[in-house]
Amino acid sequence: MKNSKEIDSFKTKLDRTMEKKFSELIVSFEPEESPQSAELFFGSCVKILESGWRSREILQLFFSVIEKDFTPSSIERVAGMIDRFSGFSNDPLSEYLLWLLDALDNYDPLEILLVEELSHEIHRINPFNSKLLCSYFCALRRSFNTKKNRTRLKLWLVIAKKWCELENDYLEQLFFHSDQSLSSCDLIKEIEEINPKAAMTFVVKAKELEDLALLNCAEFKVLLVLFSAEGIEDLVDAGINLSDAAGDKATLLFELSSKIRTKQAVISLWNNSQRLPLEKPDLIAEWVDEGVRDSSLSNAALNAYFSLESRSSVDCMKRLNSEVTLSDHKRVFELVAVAVSGEDISINQVASRSIREEDILGSETDNKKNAIWLPEKISMFEKPEDNFGFYKISLFHQLGFREFGCLGGMQKVNRQIRLRRDSSLAKFIFLAVESARIDWRLREKFPGLSTQLDRQRAHALSQRSEGSEQKSELLEILVRISLGQTPKEIGKKRYREEAGYLFGYLDLLRPGVAGLEVSLHVLSLCYELISDGKKVSSLQDPISTLITESDFPEPVRYREHLKLEALISEPEPSLLIETSVDDPAHVLGDSYEENMISDSDANDVEVGDLKKENLDGGVAIYLEEVANEPDQKKSGIEDNAEDDFPAAMRKRFFKSKYSVFQYDEWDYEIRDYRPGWCSLYERTDLDMDQECFDRIVSDNGPIIEKIRRELARIRPQTLKKVKGMIDGEDIDIEKTISYVLDKKAGVNPDENIYEQRQRVERDVSTLFLIDMSASTDDLVAPPGDQISKVASHFGNQKIDRKIIDLEKEAVSLISYVLDELGDEYSICGFSGYGREQVDYYLCKSFDDSMGALSKGMIGGLVPCRSTRMGAPIRHATRDLVATGSRVKALIVLSDGYPQDHDYGPDRNSKTYGLMDTMKALAEAKQKGVSTFCLTVDPSGNDYLRDMCSESQYMVIRDISELPTELSRVYRGLTG
């Protein structure tokens, strides 16, 4: 035992309270029984006090611990810890003592020993990481304070001990997420044994997983273990997203995912869950089974299957889901629309409107009045014919607006709607009323639609929910009546009377001759009833506030795609003013309406909230609204066009013309097509260079002559029988008889008695497809030399020409001669960036003549971006096939191998692009199109040899020979 001097000296360093406590404790150790304990106690106190700031606070903790347990063994152990921890930082000691204070009450001695042992180990391996020790004891205090939790303490300590050997991150995360790591100890251990890093990832994400109840999902946990060897961060993230998006239905996918052998495919499946009909679990299960059935599928193919990106996957899903897609039937629907309406109508996909701003502002807007909108796919019915029926009814319903007089009267409809105080309510009512009339008229004119119409209406009714708010409920009743329900079937006691009225109003639409006038009259009646509660006693307190559109009942699905705004022409302010002021009765109704409402007082009829007598003074509010509208539009676009870049862009897009086409792409890795993978924009919005073509023609007289000579060798193709020839393959019987007769009659006979089969007609269509990739901006080398990327100095003026210039020159010259020959041809350029943006510039179509526009566009071809060849070749093939010519030729002028930033999973790999191009060329051949690839890439032999047969490509060494070579190729293909 230290001498009393030392003790006294120590005491002087303590405040009174602590001194008192110290004195009590030091005397409690009987020197005879445990001299060593007193020694250890005093030594520890001294160490703690000397350890720096917060030492008194820690000393206080130490006293508290000793008060609880002053057995020699305990003091020895604690003193050891103090000795170890007090050397470099007080925090671990403080945290240790805090924990111990708590642990002495709750932990078993053995558990305390285990914890302390691990702390030794952590300290040993990370002697200078005090934070780690603090986290350790914090985690213990936070998470293992109950006996229940401590049942997993040993396992947790085992994991922690193992992770001591790893990077600090592991332990830090384990301690930081102690609550979650505690509850998932078993799973962490299981994963950790396979891949500790995956286990750490799990620990980090465990909180999110816990919040989404994913840790209760056994199927999900199985997958974590299953794929832990590959790392599970992306899997966990995908699982979290899936659970967020799909809720309870995610369990189904978790369960099915265990059948899938690769993690990437599982993630693809989860990421695409929104495209799957999760409400049909059996179907999904069958689809997954189908995907995993072929065990020889490559990982890439499996991934594409579960991403719904391969043809086989999409087809399987369609088959199982009885799905009908718009793309499969668009052409038919377009033809039906044209046939029924007699107008040039385009069918558009509803979803595509939101994809790109350009779509809204560009070409689609240009023709919106003649557009019909349909959804991308329908699978709501079990049978495909009913899903198809949905499209058909939706199509005919929209066409009905044209067929039965609504479109022609939209000006009047617009006027009627705008005159109502609540125009959005009036619009809703009008649509419901007019839809009912259209359905009835359709039923009468096209009786074959009746069955499907009934089915769609019944389905629409079965899907409807009740309206809650007063007006909404009345509107819901109106919609239900428009779908064919009777008030009795609707069964609303509260609005029975109103339902009766509405039913009566809509019944006016039933007669087969009911026109738009009747609809407008019914609109007045319904609006009056719903908006103001007139005529009906039960609506004692009509709602004065305007009902917002968000409160309107949900639309009927087969009717919802009609764009009424698109049909309404711009309002004519002057017409409205004139009509409003001079003849209000005319605005409210016409002769028909006057007859129909003869029993009502005209003064009671309202224009919004104004009565007829008030109209004599003018309807200021409406006139103002109408007058302002065109001005606002004007200022919105034109005034700001100069300095507002987006506005200017919008204007430009508005003018631009293009059509969008979707093309499949061949993926050699999955050995399947990726359906609708590429979006090809057929554009005509090139900057013009009018002089280029004429300059090329005037500068290249000798080459033109050469090409002319070359093409002159082409002989007509089609054989035609020509009679009356001096010689030929067959004898012309008639001529022969005449010959004999003449001879017998002594007349000089005509000796032209033979028939010949002559080639007198050419039936050829050729499409020149020009590569406009960025590399065509490179300068061309002098004849016989390689292409140089550096400007050359050969003194020749043409030396600094670019590859694109040569391409343009070649097609310009040959087209000049082809015009003389009379062959059909088209000239197009292609470039783009990525699969969503393949640009296809139509400089000259088969139907165009080589006029100023085509010449200007050829001149305007400039280097752009990438070389994605597959889609342009498919598009060119489509155009060629459409010509119906006997000989169809596609000549591709390129300067390198096909490439794009997403042309295949590996940007640096050329194989994907080559394979797709090869497939596109093979497809062209299958469709009777002869193809030829001309390239100026010196290494072209390397890949063109794989892409096509030797007779179908040419690598041009001397690029200046391109025009003449092109003409030779042309002759070879078509001659």
Partner 1 sequence: MLIWKKEPLDGKADSMDQKQDNSSAEAPYYLPFADEIDVFNAAYEQRLPVLLKGPTGCGKTRFVEHMAHRIFSGKDSALGSLETIACHEDLSATDMVGRFLLKGDDTVWQDGPLTRAVREGSLCYLDEIVEARKDSTVIIHSLTDHRRILPIDKLGIVLDAHPDFLLVISYNPGYQSLLKDLKTSTRQRFVAIEFDYPSLQNEADIICHETGIEESVASGLALVGEKIRNLAGRGFDDGVSTRLLIYAAQLMNSGIDSGRACDVGIVKAASDEVSVQDAIRQIVNAVFPI
Residue 354, burial from CB neighbour count under 10 angstroms (0-12, 13-18, 19+): exposed
Q: Which two tokens stand for residue 526?
A: 């319904």
From residue 451 to residue 490, the character string flagging contacts with partner 1 as x (rule: CB under 8 A) and all else as - is x---------------------------------------
Q: How many residues bind partner 1 (CB under 8 A)?
A: 26
Q: Which stretch binds partner 1 (CB under 8 A): 198-206, 448-456, 831-839, 944-952?
A: 448-456
**Whole-number CA gyration radius for the chain:** 43
Query: Measured in whole angstroms, how far is the alpha carbon of residue 11 from the centre of its chain?
Result: 77
Which member of 35, 342, 408, 630 binds partner 1 (CB under 8 A)?
A: 342
Strands 610-611 and 606-607: antiparallel
Q: Which is nearer to partner 1, 375 or 913 (CB)?
A: 375
Smallest CA-to-CA distance from 584 within 556, 613, 559, 555 is with 613
Provide, rounded to whole angstroms, the least separation between the CB of residue 446 and partner 1: 4
Which member of 152, 392, 471, 650 binds partner 1 (CB under 8 A)?
A: 392
Q: Which is nearer to partner 1, 424 or 738 (CB)?
A: 738
Interaction between residue 744 and partner 1 (CB under 8 A): yes
Smallest CA-to-CA distance from 781 within 766, 798, 804, 763 is with 798
Which member of 70, 176, 446, 592 binds partner 1 (CB under 8 A)?
A: 446
Provide, rounded to whole angstroms, the least separation between the CB of residue 579 and partner 1: 34
Query: Measured in whole angstroms, how far is the alpha carbon of residue 945 from the centre of its chain?
Result: 37
Which member of 222, 340, 371, 585 binds partner 1 (CB under 8 A)?
A: 340
Q: Which stretch binds partner 1 (CB under 8 A): 489-497, 679-687, 732-740, 803-811?
A: 732-740
Q: Which is nearer to partner 1, 162 or 369 (CB)?
A: 369
Provide, rounded to whole angstroms, the least separation between the CB of residue 448 and partner 1: 5
Q: Which two tokens stand for residue 266?
A: 């599982």
Q: Which is nearer to partner 1, 359 or 403 (CB)?
A: 403
Q: Which is nearer to partner 1, 6 or 734 (CB)?
A: 734
Q: How many residues does the chain have?
A: 975
Smallest CA-to-CA distance from 870 within 800, 932, 924, 819 is with 924
Q: Which stretch binds partner 1 (CB under 8 A): 258-266, 485-493, 737-745, 886-894?
A: 737-745
Interaction between residue 759 and partner 1 (CB under 8 A): no
Provide, rounded to whole angstroms, the least separation between the CB of residue 585 and partner 1: 36
Interaction between residue 445 and partner 1 (CB under 8 A): yes
Residue 373 backbone phi and psi in degrees, to 5: -105, 130
Residue 664 backbone phi and psi in degrees, to 5: -70, 160
Provide, rounded to whole angstroms, the least separation between the CB of residue 881 and partner 1: 12
Provide, rounded to whole angstroms, the least separation between the CB of residue 556 and partner 1: 20
Provide, rounded to whole angstroms, the least separation between the CB of residue 900 and partner 1: 31
Give the H or E element holding residue 767: strand 764-771
From residue 394 to residue 413, the character string flagging contacts with partner 1 as x (rule: CB under 8 A) and all else as - is --x-----------------
Interaction between residue 298 and partner 1 (CB under 8 A): no
Interaction between residue 335 and partner 1 (CB under 8 A): yes
Contact 717, 764 (CB under 8 A): yes
Provide, rounded to whole angstroms, the least separation between the CB of residue 450 and partner 1: 7
Q: Which is nearer to partner 1, 347 or 475 (CB)?
A: 347
CA distance 664 to 286: 25
Give the three-class secondary structure for 948: coil
Q: What residue has token string 């009259």?
A: 521
Helix%, strand%, coil% for the chain, nearest 5? 60, 10, 30
Q: Which is nearer to partner 1, 71 or 367 (CB)?
A: 367
Q: Which stretch binds partner 1 (CB under 8 A): 113-121, 335-343, 814-822, 944-952?
A: 335-343
Which member of 27, 218, 719, 737 binds partner 1 (CB under 8 A)?
A: 737
Q: Which is nearer to partner 1, 446 or 654 (CB)?
A: 446
Which member of 332, 371, 380, 543 binds partner 1 (CB under 8 A)?
A: 332
Strands 764-771 and 887-894: parallel
Per-residue exposure over 218-227, b if at least 16 CB sit within 10 Å of its own CB, e if not: ebbbebbbbb
Q: Which is nearer to partner 1, 488 or 743 (CB)?
A: 743
Provide, rounded to whole angstroms, the least separation between the CB of residue 335 and partner 1: 3
Provide, rounded to whole angstroms, the least separation between the CB of residue 344 and partner 1: 10
Number of Cβ within a 10 Å radius of residue 325: 19
What interhelical angle do 516-532 and 423-445 show, nearest 10?
Answer: 140
Give the three-class secondary structure for 850: coil
Interaction between residue 725 and partner 1 (CB under 8 A): no
Residue 837 backbone phi and psi in degrees, to 5: -145, 70
Smallest CA-to-CA distance from 807 within 975, 956, 968 is with 956
Which member of 52, 247, 447, 618 binds partner 1 (CB under 8 A)?
A: 447
Provide, rounded to whole angstroms, the least separation between the CB of residue 331 and partner 1: 4
Which member of 20, 154, 259, 331 binds partner 1 (CB under 8 A)?
A: 331
Under rule CB under 8 A, which residues in 532-551 are in contact with partner 1? none
Under rule CB under 8 A, which residues in 240-279 are in contact with partner 1? none
CA distance 841 to 858: 9
Q: Which is nearer to partner 1, 744 or 793 (CB)?
A: 744
CA distance 778 to 788: 7
User: What does the longest C-alpha to C-alpha distance in the chain come to?
Assistant: 168
Q: Which is nearer to partner 1, 125 or 340 (CB)?
A: 340
Q: What residue has token string 């495209």?
A: 275
Number of Cβ within a 10 Å radius of residue 489: 11
Which member of 225, 338, 490, 647 binds partner 1 (CB under 8 A)?
A: 338
Contacts of residue 50, defined as CB under 8 A and 6 or more positions apart, other chains included, come to: none
CA distance 570 to 323: 39
Q: Which two tokens stand for residue 900?
A: 């794009």
Provide, rounded to whole angstroms, the least separation between the CB of residue 441 and partner 1: 13
The residue type of 797 is Q
Number of Cβ within a 10 Å radius of residue 616: 9
Provide, rounded to whole angstroms, the least separation between the CB of residue 447 and partner 1: 5
Binding residues (CB under 8 A) for partner 1: these are 329, 331-333, 335-336, 338-342, 392, 396, 445-451, 734, 737-738, 740-741, 744
